Amino acid sequence: MLKRLKQDLEVAEVKDPARIPEEIPAPSAMNDAYAGQASILFAEEGKVYLEDLDLKAKPYEAAQKWEDFLRHSTQAPVQGRLLIVHDDLMSFLLETATEVVARVRIDDEKKTVATGALWYEEHLPAESLLYSLFHLAPVAANGTVRKGDWDQVQRLLSGVIQLGGKASVGRGLCSLSWGFRP
């Protein structure tokens, strides 16, 4: 995931590429992990526990650089909490540790599931950090972005929005913020 983030930032022409950490830590074994030097995740003897997984974690300078970069660039609460795991373990966690909830809407008269009203929702952990590239292209004849367009973007970034989820159950709420600027 860090490799993809780095590639996307390079494609987006982030003006200060020196800020982007060069090394992408890659644990060599499934039960190895890296964290920053001041990680709060360490238990006794260099262990980190994720659900029922016991990982051998060690402080690693490159992990600290990524933690610092993400903290400064995104305002995300990652300080002391970033853990870099093996790619295969991350795939396993994404497939098995993501909460999947079956939802139904009941037909009031029949007291059965309404037609087409069975769906599944995948819930991300509350403090998940997601990113996306954003580009506002000039459309005016003089090659500038219209002020009204920027105003719309600023309004979008100033509060809480709902992405996915269902408004009636309070899911999908998130805030947007500028992170990496070109």
102 and 23 within one domain: no
57 and 31 within one domain: yes
* Domain tally, the chain: 3
156 and 71 within one domain: no
One-letter-per-residue 3-state SS of 17-33? HHHCCCCCCCCCCCCEE
N-term to C-term CA, the chain: 20
Tens digits of pLDDT across the chain (182 residues): 899 988 888 887 776 656 788 899 999 999 999 999 888 988 888 889 988 899 999 999 999 999 998 888 887 888 899 999 999 999 998 888 888 888 888 988 999 989 888 888 888 887 788 888 777 777 767 777 777 787 888 787 777 888 777 667 777 888 777 776 55
Among the listed residues 30, 130, 36, 45, the one whose alpha carbon sits nearest the alpha carbon of residue 85: 30
Find all residues with CB under 8 Å of 44, minimum gap 6, and list them.
none
56 and 44 within one domain: yes
- Cα 152 from Cα 12, distance rounded (Å): 21
